[in-house]
Structure 1
Amino acid sequence: MTTGTFSVNGRTYAKPVSPVVVICIDGSEPDYHVEAMAAGRMPWLSKVLEWEGSSWPAHCAMPALTNPNNVSIATGRPPSVHGISGNYIFDTELGEEVLMNDKRFLRAPTIFAAANEAGLDVVVVTAKDKLRRLLGAGLVEEGPALDGSGEFVAPSRRGICFSAEKADQATVEENGIGDVLALAGRPLPDVYSADLSEFALAAGVEILATRGADLMYLSLTDYIQHKNAPGTETANAFYEMIDHYAGRLAELGAIVVLTADHGMSAKSDDVGLPRVVYVEDEVCRILGIPDDAQANGLRVILPITDPYTVHHGALGSFASVYLPEGADHEATIAALRDIEGIQEVHGREAAVERYSLPADRIGHIVVLAEAGTALGRFAAWHDLSGLDAPLRSHGALGELRIPFLINRRLPTPDLLDTPFGDPARIHNYDAFWVATTLVAEEESAS
């Protein structure tokens, strides 16, 4: 291990003297681990929090979605800095709705790229492949880093970045590592399964055990959380599995952080049907648009949309609305606020200020649903045939609260920089700073 520091995006990180592993448990509201510990299913974490660890209330970045928050953790900054405002956006330059899963959308280098260039051994393992190209920027040839002028440059050294979803396709040339299935000792997992997350964790453990790493990021999938509430047997078994691998990482000497990209909320009524506000229909009603919304200049973007919609049907709780030319923005905002199930509605400038969003990658209006309500475009646009359980989803303030736990006893940092709602001190994107710099400061003071 090395000593010293490296800096990126205005923050300074201590080079760790012990391996640092951040585990992002996708969709993990705090009640999941609370219930699992109460049931005796997370013995390692229970022991850590009793004797040697720290746990603080924390917030995710907004919107409470996978891509924006994984990239926030990876850059140490909110979307206003790194530019990833959703899984899916309306690209105004192309005039098309596109997935934000390519490095061209990044506006800031990652911690991983900076650490890699500073000589650290960096490993990133994602469950889903949609994150690999974003998080791997600066580690492998396919994903070069941004330099200080915003231009992409090839990394001077190589790290490791691959996904569990396509672990069978990983090569040294593309991903910095090959033969991943043999390494993990597991078959290729189904993308819609708990096995996808377990594969990522198992691979991380084997990499740390056999070749070591300085910085490691393991990003899981929220398949279980979309279908199972906290305290259920399936959820508890999943968190027991996470506890097992986190404990093994700690046994290998790692500083381990458990956090999440977002929480999760039940969004169905008493008989199990999705409780949905169809935003495009509502705005058409407000503006008097009779049909063909897009032909009339109206476009509603649901940034939760991605290639993996089976478990949520593209129904989240955050929507971005592009209004027709000449539409009364303030009147539309006021009318949307009166709809049952809507928690907040903001114009672009207010949303940018309150939620640290990039102004050019959101609509004229953003709409946030209450925790128990989902947002859709219009009913026919959503394929809900894959929903085999009551809808659970995310995107807004109801899914803001997340866990933040570390296996080190530390003073409470006061890092909250955006008043999203409930009191909190830190964000998920402080994870690597806490695990490197705050740990180093505390160890040097003791």
Structure 2
Amino acid sequence: MKINNREYPKQKKTIIGICMDGTSYPYYEKAKDVMPNLQRFIKEGSMGLVKSVIPSFTNPNNMAITTGVPPKVNGICGNFYWDTELQEEVMMNDPKYLKVPTILSELSHNGRKVAVVTAKDKLRKMLAHNLDGICFSAEFADQATLEENGIENVESDLMGKERPGIYDPYISVYCIEAGAKLLQRDHYDVMYLTTTDFVQHKYAPGSEGANDFLAKIDHWLGELDKLGAIVGVTADHGMEAKTNADGSPKVQFIEKLLNEQGIKTRVILPITDPYVVHHGALGGYGTLYLDDKSQLEAAKTYLLSLDGIEKVLTNVEAVEAFELPSDRIGDLVVLSDAATTIGRTPEWHDLDKVKEGLRSHGSEHCQVVPMIFNKKLNDTYAEKLASGTCRNFDLFHFLSNGF
């Protein structure tokens, strides 16, 4: 069937899309000795590098993956944005911000049995929108009900254990394990499993913390494979260290700096979400709303003079470059280099949780992510993946057409 102008024919086997939040390829490369199942997928199945959407944040990419289209089409371009009608900053986790249906919801109303498990509850409302199936978060697995989530007694009946806390590395393992346990007890046509990036924010590729976590993920990837599913693993974004030589966060507080230049502006940081321990609302992408539009060129010139600020695009330029919705990104879009984050003012951020070893994402430097399948793609889709032009939001198109 056609969804958002792309074809998604029914498969004989279960198809499972997995978004490994914040996991760029170096994590897998440096954990290859403890990830035998994923290494087998790479060797015997298919792998390529693809680009995520910009901003390289969680909400825009998960909703791109589950709609099969970029933010310009689906409307989701951040975790937070400035609502010009309400004149306030709002969290973009309400389904009302979606401009198109998800692949998951459309399939669920057309004869496919669908299950979705997310680590973070912030994604659940949009992923569950109009979905006739199971959709729950590991974060609030204890609160799942038949009416709200399509499932109850997750901890006692499905998992046999309590969920970890949202800042426990193993909440993502719990998410993938839940997918395997659902499939062990019942057939599903389509599944989507999406993790959280607490580990990647805190641990570099190859570190003991990262490898221990990925080894446990690998076990459940192997279980999904044993159950006969076609499994596709991608990511919403990568992750980079964002620190000065002394380990402190490297930040340009652009709202403060612009105001000091006499350029009154409101800076919106779309990385902002409830999980401040991860990143302190510091990332590589920001949007600006200028009080005086005649100062646009002055603002652009000044921002580009700052160390670590790599690109400053007008609304029109950003829409063209990154397929963003023009009504939700302000007057200027700012992207940092690989080692720098963008802030508002020092007072606005709670920097206590990220005062050492900040790792974050948002710019083009976190855009390249892996796409790995446990089966060999057919020639047409193998060629597409090898071309280097594919996107992470092609995941379900590949799962539905590539085998």
Taking structure 2 as the reference length, the TM-score comes to: 0.96
2:66 to 74, 77, 80: 74
Amino acid at match of 2:80: Y
Letter in 1 for 2:249: P
Distance in 1 separating the partners of 2:87 and 2:236: 29
Q: Residues of 2 paired with 1:233 and 1:110: CA distance?
A: 37
Report the counterpart of residue 202 of structure 1 in structure 2: 177
Task: Give the counterpart of 1:249 among 218, 224, 238.
Answer: 224
Match of 1:55 in 2: 47
The correspondence of residues 43-122 of structure 1 with structure 2, limited to 5 A, is 43-50=36-43, 52-122=44-114
Q: Deviations over 1:47-87 (max 9, x none)?
A: 2222x211111110110000000000010011001101100
Give, in angstroms, the shift of residue 94 of structure 1: 0.7
Q: Trace 1:140-151 onto structure 2 (pairs within 5 A).
A: none
Deviation at 1:415, TM superposition (A): 7.5
Q: For 1:164, which of 138, 144, 159 is the aligned residue?
A: 138
Of 175, 181, 185 in structure 1, the residue corresponding to residue 155 of structure 2 is 181
SS of residue paired to 1:55: strand
SS in 2 for 1:403: strand
Q: Which residue of 2 aligns with 1:226?
A: 201
204-213 or 277-286: bigger deviation = 277-286
Equivalent AA in structure 2 for residue 78 of structure 1:
P
Whether the 8 Å CA contact 1:209–1:252 is kept in 2: the answer is yes
Q: Is the 8 A contact 1:310 1:384 kept in 2?
A: no
Aligned to 2:16: 21
How many Å separate the matches in 2 of 1:189 and 1:388?
A: 25
Q: What amino acid sits opposite 1:47 in the alignment?
A: R
Residues 72 and 82, structure 1, Cα contact 8 Å, conserved in 2: yes
Letter in 2 for 1:270: A
Of 125, 128, 141, the residue aligned with 1:136 is 128
The match for 2:364 is 397
Q: How does 1:233-312 map to 2 (within 5 A)?
A: 233-286=208-261, 288-289=262-263, 293=264, 298-312=265-279
- Which residues of structure 2 form unaligned runs of 5+? none
Say if 2:281 is the partner of 1:314.
Answer: yes
Q: CA deviation at 1:273?
A: 0.5
Partners in 1 of 2:390 and 2:141 — Cα distance?
Answer: 33
SS of the residue 1:109 aligns to:
coil
SS in 2 for 1:327: helix
CA offsets per residue over residues 125-158 of structure 1, 9 Å max, x none?
Answer: 000100000111121xxxxxxxxxxxxxxxxxx2
TM (normalized to structure 1)? 0.87
Residue 426 (structure 1) aligned with residue 402 (structure 2): no
- 1:353 offset after TM fit, Å? 0.6
State the Cα deviation string for residues 145-204 of structure 1 (Å, max 9, x = none).
Answer: xxxxxxxxxxxxx21101000101101111111111120122121011112111111111
Q: Give 1:181's aligned amino acid.
A: E
3-state DSSP class of the match of 2:347? Answer: helix
Question: Counterpart of 1:349?
Answer: 316
Cα distance between partner residues in 2 of 1:336 and 1:414: 38
Kindly provide the CA deviation profile for residues 278-300 of structure 1, in whole angstroms up to 9, marking residues without a partner as x: 110222234x15xxx5xxxx210
CA contact (8 A) 2:15 2:189 kept: yes
Distance of aligned partners of 1:269 and 1:326 in 2 relative to their CA distance in 1, 3 Å threshold: closer
Q: Give the drift of 1:275.
A: 0.6
Q: CA deviation at 1:99?
A: 0.2
- Count of residue pairs the alignment pairs up: 399
Distance 2:41 2:288 in 1: 45
How far the C-alpha of 1:388 sits from its partner, in A, is 6.4
Instruction: Kindly report the root-mean-square deviation, in angstroms, between the aligned alpha carbons of the 2 structures.
Output: 1.4
Measure the CA separation in 2 of the matches of 1:415 and 1:333: 36
The one-letter amino acid paired with 1:35 is K
> Given residue 183 of structure 2, which amino acid in structure 1 is its aligned partner?
L
Does structure 2 retain, via aligned residues, the 8 Å contact 1:227–1:389? no
Q: Provide the secondary structure at the position in 2 that maps to 1:282.
A: helix
Separation (CA, whole Å) in 2 of partners of 1:375 and 1:326: 21
Q: Does 1:325 align with 2:292?
A: yes
Residue 35 (structure 2) aligned to one of 32, 36, 42: 42
Q: Is the 8 A contact 1:318 1:375 kept in 2?
A: yes
**Contact persistence 1:164–1:188 (CA under 8 A):** yes
Whether the aligned pair in 1 keeps the contact of 2:41 and 2:372 (CA below 8 Å) is: no
On the 8 A contact 2:249/2:356 being kept in 1, the answer is: no
Bigger Cα displacement from structure 2, 274-283 vs 349-358: 274-283
Mapped partners of 1:395, 1:326: distance in 2:
25
Segments ≥4 residues shifted beyond 3 Å: 413-416
Does residue 358 of structure 2 align to residue 383 of structure 1? Answer: no
CA contact (8 A) 2:249 2:354 kept: no
Look up the match of 2:307: 340
Percent identical pairs in the alignment equals 46
Gaps of 5+ in 1: 1-5, 140-157, 417-422, 440-446
Distance 1:47 1:20, change over 3 A: same
**8 Å CA contact 2:50, 2:371 repeated in 1:** yes
Q: Is the 8 A contact 1:56 1:425 kept in 2?
A: no
Q: What's the CA shift string for 1:230-262, capped at 9, x where partnerless?
A: 000110111111111111001000111111011
Q: Displacement of 1:327 after TM fit?
A: 3.1
- Give the SS at the match of 2:168: coil
